[in-house]
Amino acid sequence: MPEKPKVAFYWCASCGGCEEAVVDLAEAILDVIAAVDIVFWPVALDFKRKDVEAMPEGSILVSFVNGAIRTSEQAEMAHLLRSKSKLLVALGACAHLGGIPGLANLFDRESILKAVYLEAPSTVNPEGSLPTTHHKDDGHSVELPGFYNTVQALNQVVEVDYSVPGCPPTPRIFRTALQTLLGDELPAKGTVLAPDCALCDECPRKDSKPEQLSIVEFKRPQQLLIDEQKCLLAQGLLCMGPATRAGCEALCVRGNMPCSGCCGPTSRVKDQGAKILSSLASLVAGKEAAEIDRILATIPDPVGTFYRYSLPASLLHRKQLDRASLHEAAASK
Amino acid sequence: MPEIPSSAIESSRERPRIGVYVCHCGTNIAGIVDVRAIVEFAAKLPGVVVSRDYKYMCSDPGQALIQQDIAEHHLNRVIVASCSPLLHEATFRRVLSRAGLNAFLLQMVNIREHVSWVHLNQREATEKTKDLVRAAVRRVSLHKPLQKRRVSINPHVLVVGGGIAGIHAALTLAEAGKQVYLVEREPTIGGHMAKFDKTFPTLDCAACILTPKMTAVGSHPRIHLWTYSEVVRVEGYVGNYKVKVRRKPRYVIEDLCLGCQECVTACVYKEAKNPDEFNLGLSKRKPVYLPFPQAVPQKVVIDPQTCIQFKSGKCKKTCVEACGDRKAIDFTQKETIEDIEVGTIILATGFKTFDPVRNPYYGYGRYANVYTSLEVERLINASGPTAGEIVLRDGGQPKAVGIIHCVGSRDANTNRWCSKVCCMYSLKLAHLIKERTGAEVYNFYIDMRTPGKGYEEFYDRLLDEGVHFVRGRVAEVSDWATHPSEKGRLVIRVEDTLAAFVRRIPVDMVVLSVGMEPQPDAQDVRRLFNISCSTEGWFLERHPKLAPVSTFTEGVYIAGACQGPKDIPDSVAQAGAAAAEAMALIDAQFVELEPYTAFISEDQCSGCKTCIPLCPYQAISYMEEKKKAAINEVLCKGCGTCVAGCPSGSIQQNFFEDEEIFEEIEGVLAYA
Ligand SMILES: Cc1cc2nc3c(=O)[nH]c(=O)nc-3n(C[C@H](O)[C@H](O)[C@H](O)COP(=O)(O)OP(=O)(O)OC[C@H]3O[C@@H](n4cnc5c(N)ncnc54)[C@H](O)[C@@H]3O)c2cc1C
Ligand code: SF4
Ligand code: SF4
Ligand code: SF4
């Protein structure tokens, strides 16, 4: 019997949803298990880092890494899996684009640590101790993973062969991606394994979208009784569909919620947020500066809305670091 | 669109073999940019096979150099670092074509306007040039062969505005065999010139030289004259404009009216009661009227604002009776919309005069005997309200007249520009007033500006005629007498800057030489025809020296005072030039358009419809069956709006593809 292809899963800075997504394959997971040999999956199976280190280079067919890279340990694991695998796949929005953890790029390490360990109302930390990478206690010393200033997408740290988009990838996207990867014909390196068209294409509400949209106020879903048939953007809801890769079958929109952009931009777009901005800007009804300002002010949290999943991978990348943090960042490289 | 030969596409896929040519432009560039350093720098950039400099790249030997290199070194990309592409892109593209390369495999780097002319420091200028050259090298490698598009030219021409400029353009074109639509807003053509009695500097009678041209327009078989009409919509592109013209009802059927004016005599109003627009309110007209005796067309108009039939519906309609069997009067006439198709458009919408109420210290509107120059043109005119006699509003004849120059011109508080014609027409009016009344005439001027054939001589003649000239900007016109000789008169207070003291000059009549201003609706007209205006509001020519009657919209030309203050000779010259430009296009039968169009890849488009309303040229439509958007290449002007707007990046623009732009940006920023 020929050897089954070896597959690994790993989890970096993410919520765990992508792991769920794998489990969400339901019965199909049995087919997967039948087809492959899972050699590493910390969330489900008891393998350790040293087991991976012991494997020959390139012996794993595919490693699926979900989560963004925000600590030194995650970067090390990414490099390790890269060297052991023929194909390295970014699974889910965080590995693909930086994801929601990537919004931390609006801050820097110091302010994040300060907020979490010193200022948060629920924090009790009378000594004011902060995480460090070296710790000595009672003559013993431990080394801990370092916390980076900047969150990065997987391909900003190691070479990535493919990405599977979504927060998390829907079972269908994941299944199709798996089939593609285990199949004979591999797509070009760098391909995002989902349709290369925006969501409106597969949206059930597409026909109701008017040719001439003119938005007088952006609304949040709780502010109106949403018409279940009509294009959400036409109802003033900030739907990211026009700027977001299709493939999810418009699950959110079918659930009466606007697309929040988790599948990222199409291959032709470098900056999803900038793209939706430039298209929304043309829909704003106002002509006078004051009226335009009023309408734009109804957009809640613009960065968090337009770049919810893609800030690290975007042209913006992060908020500018002050000089001191810049030096540190350079030194840590 | 002509196919691009497959050999050209092949050559673009080959590894780039780039030639870089750095121009000295005499000392224009080489005086500040270290040209040798650029040549050496470029030679080391990836893909560059040849790198040279030359004194004048655009000269014949310069061009030959590139052509020879293309053949010898099998270049497939060329970069010329020289002046603005506006100047010589066409030149160097032709070089590539002659050498058998697709013209669009060229990239120009503007190191003159963007570098040497704006930098003082040689090192900085040289470094910047390197960045720009590096950017071009990276960009040009991605260039694809493109083909210009050809569109045919509809030979019909639309002329908007029937002043002397529009009249001359229309006649020139019609004489050359073209069909012309002349659209004039007023009930008659003639514009400002029709209001004058004499014209400077020759003093020939305006009507004598204008009327024959006006009647020629009215009767020309190839001119469709639509007066009392306005263009309301313009669609399409060079050679193929679709225009909607609104024809206002004149309540008189033009084909039936003979212009006998029996209806005017018969009107129930025995006396004319309404201010006559043509005479600027200096006389009265009836509700049914002919604007002026030589009006073209010779068709009366009924003004519904003042006609009793329109106001109460209960008029005896003596006019209809008088018209009798001719049945030309039709109170039920409605406005009509005419749809026409033309290939080229000439705008000759003229100017308006400055409203002197804005300069209250000159007393216009407050003192009866303060007039604008245009009003005086009517007063002096033999067919004007006083049959050419200068009778003041208070009935008297002036013994002394003051003509104040530059009213609403050369003034930081109103208009900064010189209106160019006022000195000359002020001299004309001075002469005519003196001739008709024997009055003492004073001209108050800042500078006398009389450049032009026979103009200075005309000024000399006026000096000999005993007209007084006082150099100084008039401070005030008032009726405040400080001396018995000033009682009941208008006093002009002015600093005589040649004599160096302040003078008070009592006169009986003041003439304000009001300047020229853009039409109040110039911005609307500009938008309608998609052209630009200068900051002052004059229609903007494509180039002030080299393309004075062209606009930035292909196939739309401007002539006369709508482009800026000018006199009749200049207006006529421009009108002829605009007609010639239109004919050049028409006779070429087609025009080549840049291939910078945008295109949508159908399988990438999500059908989100964002782009559709964005296109200023209505080039994008939604295909209902496919649920995708598509661009009509002929309508697309390559403005790039939709390209930036498409949220899924599914629109690309030839010559400005994303990769080309990103490579260029990265090239600029990739300094070592
Ligand atoms: C007081 C005075 C005296 C002058 N005397 C002389 C002189 O002696 N000699 C000389 O050479 N120059 C003289 N000039 C300058 C002369 O008036 C201009 O050079 C000339 O009139 C410019 O002609 P034009 O056809 O460009 O504009 P205009 O004469 O202004 O004609 C424009 C025409 O376009 C029409 N129009 C405007 N907008 C529209 C529209 N949207 N749709 C349709 N039609 C429209 C107007 O109704 C008008 O009929 C004098 C100017 C002034 C103010
Ligand atoms: S904007 Fe959103 S709701 Fe509207 S058609 Fe596109 S994906 Fe559907
Ligand atoms: S580039 Fe796009 S918006 Fe501009 S003219 Fe062409 S189709 Fe219209
Ligand atoms: S904006 Fe882009 S995706 Fe949307 S309809 Fe136009 S081309 Fe298609």
pLDDT greater than 80 at residue A178: yes
What chain B residue is nearest to A245 in terms of C-alpha separation?
Answer: B648
* Predicted local distance difference test score (pLDDT) of residue A2: 67
The minimum CA-CA distance between A34 and chain B, rounded to whole Å, is 36
| Interchain proximity B608–A241, CB inside 8 Å | yes
Enclosing domain of residue A158: 6-101+150-182
- State the DSSP string of B95-145: HHHHTTS-GGGEEEEE-IIIIITT---HHHHHHHHHHHHHHHHHHHTT---
pLDDT greater than 50 at residue A264: yes
Can you tell me the distance from the alpha carbon of A81 to that of A8, in angstroms, rounded to the nearest whole number?
A: 8
Nearest-ligand number for the alpha carbon of B616: 3
B390 CB near ligand 1 (under 6 Å): no
| Interchain proximity B606–A197, CB inside 8 Å | yes
Same domain, A282 and A210: yes
* Predicted local distance difference test score (pLDDT) of residue A331: 62
Indicate the fold that domain B598-653 takes in CATH: Alpha-Beta Plaits (3.30.70)
CATH of domain B6-148: 3.40.50
Domain count for chain A: 2
Structure tokens at B380: 């002096």
Mean pLDDT, rounded, for A316-331: 77
Quick check: is A333 in a domain? no
pLDDT greater than 50 at residue B1: no
Given A196, A200, A278, which is nearest B607 (Cβ)?
A200
Q: How confident is the model at residue A70 (pLDDT cuts 50, 70, 90)?
A: very high
User: Coil, helix or strand for A151?
Assistant: strand
Quick check: is A325 in a domain? no
Q: Is B616 on the interface with A (CB under 8 A)?
A: no
pLDDT greater than 80 at residue B403: yes
Same domain, A156 and A91: yes
Q: How confident is the model at residue B637 (pLDDT cuts 50, 70, 90)?
A: confident
Q: Is B656 on the interface with A (CB under 8 A)?
A: no
pLDDT in tens, B155-199: 999 999 999 999 999 999 999 999 999 999 999 999 999 999 999
Quick check: is A326 in a domain? no
Q: Is A209 on the interface with B (CB under 8 A)?
A: yes
Mean pLDDT, rounded, for B59-67: 97
pLDDT in tens, A87-102: 999 999 999 999 999 9
Which of A265-269, B50-54, B149-153 has the least mean pLDDT? B149-153
**What are the residue ranges of helices labelled H in B327-480?**
373-380, 422-437, 455-464
> Which DSSP helix (H) or strand (E) runs through B86?
helix B85-98
DSSP letter at A149 equals E
Under the phi-then-psi rule, with left for phi > 0, alpha for psi from -120 to 50, and beta for the rest, what region is A192? Answer: beta
Mean pLDDT, rounded, for A53-70: 96
- State the DSSP string of B517-530: EE-TTHHHHHHHHT
Can you tell me the distance from the alpha carbon of B192 to that of B349, in angstroms, rounded to the nearest whole number?
A: 11
The alpha carbon dihedral of B496, B499, B504, B510 has a sign of: negative
Pocket test for ligand 4, best of B597, B604, B606 (most atoms within 8 A of CB): B606
DSSP letter at B440 equals E
Mean pLDDT, rounded, for B562-590: 97
Same domain, A81 and A154: yes
Tell which of B527, B648, B659, B665 to mutate to test the A interface (max A CBs under 10 Å).
B648
* Predicted local distance difference test score (pLDDT) of residue A110: 92
pLDDT in tens, B212-261: 999 999 999 999 999 999 999 998 889 999 999 999 999 999 999 999 99
* Predicted local distance difference test score (pLDDT) of residue B306: 94
Task: Indicate where chain B has its CATH 3.50.50.60 domain(s).
Answer: 150-248+335-350+523-589, 353-517
Q: Is B499 on the interface with A (CB under 8 A)?
A: no
Domain B353-517 classification at class level: alpha beta
User: Coil, helix or strand for A121?
Assistant: coil
Pocket test for ligand 1, best of B209, B450, B567 (most atoms within 8 A of CB): B567
Q: Is B630 on the interface with A (CB under 8 A)?
A: no
CA of B539 to the centre of ligand 3 (A): 24
DSSP letter at A145 equals P
What chain A residue is nearest to B602 in terms of C-alpha separation?
Answer: A197
Given A210, A268, A283, which is nearest B649 (Cβ)?
A268
Same domain, A161 and A77: yes
The minimum CA-CA distance between B146 and chain A, rounded to whole Å, is 21
Beta bridge partners of B18: B48, B77
Quick check: is A163 in a domain? yes
User: What is the interface pTM, i.e. ipTM, of the complex?
Assistant: 0.92
Q: Is B622 on the interface with A (CB under 8 A)?
A: yes
Same domain, A245 and A170: no
Same domain, A223 and A155: no
Same domain, A160 and A229: no
Same domain, A213 and A172: no
Same domain, A83 and A178: yes
Residue A18: what are its φ and ψ, rounded to 5°?
-65, -35
pLDDT greater than 60 at residue B2: no
User: Coil, helix or strand for B407?
Assistant: strand
Can you tell me the distance from the alpha carbon of B513 to that of B375, in angstroms, rounded to the nearest whole number?
A: 10
Same domain, A92 and A228: no
pLDDT greater than 80 at residue A50: yes
Nearest-ligand number for the alpha carbon of B593: 3
Given A199, A212, A276, which is nearest B606 (Cβ)?
A199
The overall average pLDDT reported for chain B is 95
* Predicted local distance difference test score (pLDDT) of residue A157: 97
Can you tell me the distance from the alpha carbon of A178 to that of A164, in angstroms, rounded to the nearest whole number?
A: 9
Report chain B residues whose CB lies below 8 A from the CB of A243.
647-648
Task: Indicate where chain B has its CATH 3.40.50 domain(s).
Answer: 6-148
Report chain B residues whose CB lies below 8 A from the CB of A212.
612-613
Closest residue by Cα to atom 1, ligand 4, is B646
CA of B582 to the centre of ligand 1 (A): 22
Considering the four listed CATH numbers 3.30.450.20, 3.50.50.60, 3.10.180.10, 1.10.600.10, the one that applies to the domain covering B150-248+335-350+523-589 is 3.50.50.60
Quick check: is A314 in a domain? no
Pocket test for ligand 1, best of B195, B421, B557 (most atoms within 8 A of CB): B421
Look at chain B and count its residues: 672
B539 CB near ligand 1 (under 6 Å): no
Q: What is the CATH number of the domain that holds A73?
A: 3.40.50.700
Nearest-ligand number for the alpha carbon of B431: 1
Report chain B residues whose CB lies below 8 A from the CB of A206.
607, 627
Mean pLDDT, rounded, for A162-166: 97
Q: Is A314 on the interface with B (CB under 8 A)?
A: no
Mean pLDDT, rounded, for B614-632: 93
Angle made by CA atoms A52, A53, A55, in degrees to the nearest 5: 65
| Interchain proximity A201–B644, CB inside 8 Å | no
Quick check: is A171 in a domain? yes
CA of A209 to the centre of ligand 2 (A): 7
Q: What is the identity of the amino acid at B431?
A: H
Residue B572: what are its φ and ψ, rounded to 5°?
-65, -40
Q: Which residues contact B433 (CB under 8 A, 6 or more apart)?
A: B376, B380, B390, B398, B401, B439, B441, B511
pLDDT greater than 70 at residue B10: no
Same domain, A158 and A220: no
* Predicted local distance difference test score (pLDDT) of residue B550: 97
Tell which of A192, A197, A249, A270 to mutate to test the B interface (max B CBs under 10 Å).
A197
pLDDT in tens, A183-234: 889 999 999 999 999 999 999 999 999 999 999 999 999 999 999 999 999 9
pLDDT in tens, B496-538: 999 999 999 999 999 999 999 999 999 999 999 999 999 999 9
* Predicted local distance difference test score (pLDDT) of residue A328: 66
* Predicted local distance difference test score (pLDDT) of residue B616: 84
Can you tell me the distance from the alpha carbon of A249 to that of A246, in angstroms, rounded to the nearest whole number?
A: 7
Same domain, A170 and A62: yes
Given A196, A199, A278, which is nearest B604 (Cβ)?
A196
Long-range residue pairs from A16-20, CB within 8 A, at least 24 positions apart, any chain: A16/A43, A17/A92, A17/A167, A17/A168, A18/A66, A18/A67, A18/A91, A18/A92, A18/A94, A18/A95, A18/A168, A18/A169, A19/A43, A19/A44, A19/A66, A20/A168
The overall average pLDDT reported for chain A is 92
Q: Which residues contact A330 (CB under 8 A, 6 or more apart)?
A: none
CA of B407 to the centre of ligand 1 (A): 18
Which of A12-16, A295-299, B91-95, B616-620 has the least mean pLDDT? B616-620
> Which DSSP helix (H) or strand (E) runs through B35?
helix B35-43
| Interchain proximity A242–B608, CB inside 8 Å | yes
Quick check: is A248 in a domain? yes
Closest residue by Cα to atom 5, ligand 2, is A206
Quick check: is A127 in a domain? no
pLDDT greater than 60 at residue B74: yes
Structure tokens at B166: 């529009």
Q: What is the 3-state secondary structure (H, E, C) of B458-487?
A: HHHHHHHCCCEEEECCEEEEECCCCCHHHC
Mean pLDDT, rounded, for B373-390: 94
The minimum CA-CA distance between A129 and chain B, rounded to whole Å, is 42
